[in-house]
Structure 1
Amino acid sequence: MNTSERIKIGLSKSGFYSGLNPTVTLISKIVIALLVIYTVSFPDKAVAALGEINTMLLATFNSYYIYSVALFLIFCLGCCISPFGKLRLGLDNEKPEFSYFSWFSMMFSAGMGIGLMFYSIGEPLYHFQTNPALIQSGAEGANAAAVPSAMRYTLLHWGLHAWAVYVTAGLAMAYFAYRKGLPLTIRSTLQPLFGDKLNGAAGHLVDIIAVVATTLGVATTMGAGVTQLVNGVEFITGTGALINENGTPTATALILTLLVVMLLSTISALTGVARGVKWLSQVNVILSVVLLGFFILFGSTLYGFELFGSSLVDYTLNLIPLTFSVWDSSSDIGAWQTSWTILYWAWWIAFAPFVGLFLARISRGRTIREFVIGCVLVPTLACFAWMAFLGGTGLDLELSGVANGAIIQAVNENIASVLFVTIDLLNSGMLGSIVKVASIILIVTYLVTSADSGVLVLNTIMAGGNSNPQPKHRIIWGGILTLVVGSLLLAGGMGAIQKAMIIGALPFSIVMVLMCISMTKSLLTTETRREPVTVSAQ
């Protein structure tokens, strides 16, 4: 790639914003500030207004979301099985920076970690009560016959499609950065389509959308995780001091927990990916295996293994209809699809700038095929195992009558407590207490990993692809995230931010479709000529 094809980000060479693009940074801060001020000042109005827009977009673009995510899955499959799969994301003889264990640990922690802690039991139990198969047949839920379809739709939302969204963005960024020598930013992925236009307003707009989406995505993750963390501590201690009379965490508990988590995440971000983020991610995976082992040994072991196998087969056999089915949003089944599948697709797309760039950052030296298999198939199977043994235990406890409706009640009333309720049902003694404490530690490390990864990604985008921006900017954005999450939790504006994030997914989904076209064009026009790869390290 000659120098005329390179993208000029326009970084400031001096002053406070030295090393950053001042336009992208300032406008992103202004947009985030205005949105937060609005939601904090008028939380009810913000939720109502953004909710109406959110509902309208999800219902109007339901077909678009279904088919665009299908495109991303097909794109990943095509890149993997085609001759282009052997291309290396970097120099032809370059070796990966991280071991397989470190690589997987970081991708899993950033991509799904805290979400699985929150929904691994709750979602199967929710779909156990109602899902499209039950709606179509008119059958009653919450019985053994409802389990296969409950798991089918749970795996749909946490499987290949979710990771394909992340990998589409990550693969495009890694390819253009490490193979074509462009900056590791979102705008670089569109270079074959727009060329020099990305040097100005168009490129700035793409990166601003990515910064805002990443900030809102990390904020929603932190909000949900901090809430679950406080619920877990209260469940163990039973002090009553951390929870209000209505069952919600107190403001003091939320803010103190948030401050501790964000302090740890900022320290981790300052040490960089190769040290703090990698080490914490490895701790995450080890603790996750311990928690999974507890459910395998003391939960519904045989039921979990059977559920994993049968659900995997059922998911595979139904993959095509699950991928392409679109129902009228005005029907009951269409309303369910809009509230769950379409919402999830928009959710994963909203997270794609963050997780995709992070995957690209840690995957230099991998081949395209290795990247797709490692970042789509492997974590999908890990998610399935997690859902089968944790979610399967919850299902079995309800079906056997041991739970007596306690888990379903927690799912419907306070999903943040579901994990701890289930552990207590399995073992209410010393072992159960140890596992609950380990779960709290795991939630903390997942939260810290999500936040520090988010801080690094935000700074990488604003620094024009520089993955090691100045420490002061990492500290500042750690503080910004703390203020955003804290103010929203206190004002009850987290729901509005979640809706704003989903709304923001629509324009970024268009960027992702263009990424597929752009990378395909580059592969067909440059790699087929076996252009030598001699780009320098980013």
Structure 2
Amino acid sequence: MSVKPPLMDLPISTADSGFYSGFSKTVAIVSKIIVAALVVWAIVFPDQAGSVLNALNSFILANTAYWYVYIVAFFVLLCAFLAIWPTAGRLKLGLDSDEPEFSNFSWFSMMFGAGIGVGMLTWSVAEPVYHFQNNPDVIKGAVEGSTAEAIRSAYKWSFLHWGFGAWACYAIAGLALGFFCYRRGLPLTMRSSLTPLFGKSLSGPLGHLIDIVAVVATILGVAQTLGFGVEQFVAGLTRIGIGGLIGEGGTANTLGVIVAIVIIMAASTMSALSGVGKGIKWLSNLNMGLSIFLLTFFLLFGATFFGLQSLVVGIWDYIIALPEMLFTVWRSDGVEGSVASQLESWQGGWTVFYWAWWIAFAPFVGLFLARISKGRTIREFVLGAIIVPSLMCFVWFTWAGGTAIDLTLNGDAGDAIFGASDGDKIFAMVIHMLGAAFGWIMSIVIVILLMTYLVTTADSAVLIVNTINAAGDEGPKAQPHIYFWGIALGGVVAALLIAGGSGGGGLKAIQTAMVIGAFPFSIVMVLQGIALVKAIYNDGRRNAVGIATTHDQAASAPAE
């Protein structure tokens, strides 16, 4: 069977003039309508929105656990395969002559800040604490919760959610986009990554649909992250003396949500207007520096030996248990309160939710990673984008979360840390460690760090959404569109937080919308993985017969 040249031309119709000049009107307008409708629906009909979203969420989680668990396992295995496959590992995300645009430090900083940075400040303390009290090993009776013997299992399950599985989701989207956009010269947009499967048909409605799904998933995935961040930001403002922002249940009230959203989205919009090379790069370097400072504080003054022991043992337990954890799906036996039912409920609330979150976040982080990784090899990308950030997460979880556990288990913290809300746990911990005065100063540092993470995430998301809407154009975007998506992103977070009510209902509303938005894009991601393997395999055959595989070798070529 003859080998055909790869597709190196995927025209996407964009407006020549007017408000949408340079943008794909179908993608931009439909995406805006969907997001705007969600905001209006959540505000005007909060009860109906909550009921419908919860019903859809319950259906998806009840019927797609196998899907989410197995596709994330597939992503992890595929990344490992691409790194060790000689044909793939040495290929660059770009032309053979391309060199990386950013230093390794800036690359890691932007990658970590955009990918997981915000979540670190909330969940590096909150999640180990949760799993220390309850996790599948506790449910099955293998260990007793809230005791020293539960520490190892707490980290094993925490590492599962923030380790290789999370970053493999990002890496697949980033690899697919980087490969097809920078080697083939195709537009930097989601549809380009599926050209080996669908060819030139992606120029039309099918391609528009894929990009719309990516935009909506991005907004909802980032809204999930910002929702947690807003709650923690308000908790931090309260800790440093700004009152009136906390309502019932220890969560942000309407005023707190509005204040946080206005501050964060105003700063992020200004940063987005300056582009990746200026505002986002500067903020990423700043938050990496502050992260190192805060982490050094925990290393020196926290539970140092406890954290080191938890890190080493936790990584060992995680690696050993990873195959089983990646492929295990628990199903209820129909008996309420049984071990099987508890395991299914735990997995739906934690693992399945996390996999949906990372997948919803993948179009944003994947496109951003592709944008900052041009010129790096696939092997370098996989190792840099999966192993290094995972290790950074593990260090945070063991020293920050480990300090909280150690202070409660072996110290005199009592219920001061465990009893605080998720976002407030890290503030409660540093105040307990340092006292009121120095704890107040450290709280200011954490608030500033949180602010830089939130702004980096939000402004990166705005730029990515505009890039998709502009048919992959990375150049300057019309300011009104940046303003719109900045306001829209803040609007989604604010509307769902306010409409969801107090006591965590707002975050639940965002989680529900995010899980629903993630499902269609999960299908796109599986197709991206298949398309990438097919393209690399066919490129090996093309090279053997002298057919050009990069856009510098051939100005154009027939479709596959």
TM-score normalised per structure 1: 0.96
1:342 matched to 2:349? The reply is no
The 5 Å alignment of 1:35-434 reads 35-83=38-86, 84-137=88-141, 139-237=143-241, 240-244=243-247, 246-330=249-333, 331-410=341-420, 414-434=421-441
Distance (whole Å) between structure 1 residues aligned to residue 63 and residue 252 of structure 2: 36
Kept in 2, the 8 Å contact 1:307–1:388? The answer is yes
Q: What's the counterpart of residue 437 of structure 1?
A: 444
Distance (whole Å) between structure 2 residues aligned to residue 180 and residue 433 of structure 1: 53
- Cα deviation code 1:499-530 (max 9, x no counterpart): 12111211111111111111111111123433
The 3-state SS of whatever aligns with 1:427 is helix
User: Deviation of residue 44 (structure 1)?
Assistant: 2.9
Kept in 1, the 8 Å contact 2:280–2:456? The answer is yes
The 3-state SS of whatever aligns with 1:428 is helix
Distance (whole Å) between structure 2 residues aligned to residue 26 and residue 319 of structure 1: 43
User: Deviation of residue 497 (structure 1)?
Assistant: 3.3
The 3-state SS of whatever aligns with 1:120 is helix
Q: What's the counterpart of residue 453 of structure 1?
A: 460
Q: What's the counterpart of residue 531 of structure 2?
A: 518
Kept in 2, the 8 Å contact 1:43–1:496? The answer is no
Give the letter aligned to residue 119 of structure 1: W
User: Deviation of residue 434 (structure 1)?
Assistant: 2.0
Q: 1:255 to 1:145 in 2, by over 3 A?
A: same
Q: 1:490 to 1:61 in 2, by over 3 A?
A: closer
Q: 1:162 to 1:4 in 2, by over 3 A?
A: closer
Give the letter aligned to residue 483 of structure 2: I
Give the letter aligned to residue 519 of structure 1: L
Q: What's the counterpart of residue 23 of structure 2?
A: 20
Distance (whole Å) between structure 1 residues aligned to residue 29 and residue 140 of structure 2: 50
Distance (whole Å) between structure 1 residues aligned to residue 7 and residue 540 of structure 2: 19
User: Deviation of residue 271 (structure 1)?
Assistant: 0.9
The 3-state SS of whatever aligns with 1:408 is coil
The 3-state SS of whatever aligns with 1:415 is coil
In terms of mean alpha carbon deviation, does 9-18 or 215-224 score higher?
215-224
Kept in 2, the 8 Å contact 1:47–1:495? The answer is no
RMSD across aligned positions (CA)? 1.9
Distance (whole Å) between structure 2 residues aligned to residue 141 and residue 246 of structure 1: 25
The 3-state SS of whatever aligns with 2:15 is coil
In terms of mean alpha carbon deviation, does 58-67 or 282-291 score higher?
58-67
The 3-state SS of whatever aligns with 1:397 is helix
User: Deviation of residue 139 (structure 1)?
Assistant: 4.3
Distance (whole Å) between structure 2 residues aligned to residue 250 and residue 58 of structure 1: 29
Distance (whole Å) between structure 1 residues aligned to residue 332 and residue 474 of structure 2: 42
Kept in 1, the 8 Å contact 2:237–2:447? The answer is yes
User: Deviation of residue 63 (structure 1)?
Assistant: 1.1
The 3-state SS of whatever aligns with 1:318 is helix
1:535 matched to 2:551? The reply is yes
Kept in 2, the 8 Å contact 1:19–1:469? The answer is no
Q: 1:443 to 1:271 in 2, by over 3 A?
A: same
- Cα deviation code 1:137-174 (max 9, x no counterpart): 26431000111101100000000000000101110000
TM-score normalised per structure 2: 0.92
Distance (whole Å) between structure 2 residues aligned to residue 247 and residue 309 of structure 1: 35
Mind listing any 5+ residue stretches in structure 2 that lack a counterpart? 334-340, 501-505, 554-560
Kept in 2, the 8 Å contact 1:217–1:350? The answer is yes
Q: What's the counterpart of residue 474 of structure 1?
A: 482
User: Deviation of residue 267 (structure 1)?
Assistant: 1.1
In terms of mean alpha carbon deviation, does 392-401 or 17-26 score higher?
392-401
Q: 1:422 to 1:68 in 2, by over 3 A?
A: same
Aligned residues: 534
In terms of mean alpha carbon deviation, does 354-363 or 393-402 score higher?
393-402
1:463 matched to 2:467? The reply is no
The 3-state SS of whatever aligns with 2:418 is helix
Q: What is the identity percentage for the equivalent residue pairs of Structure 1 and Structure 2? A: 49
- Cα deviation code 1:209-265 (max 9, x no counterpart): 01111111222222221221111111121x543223553333233212221211111
Distance (whole Å) between structure 2 residues aligned to residue 168 and residue 211 of structure 1: 17
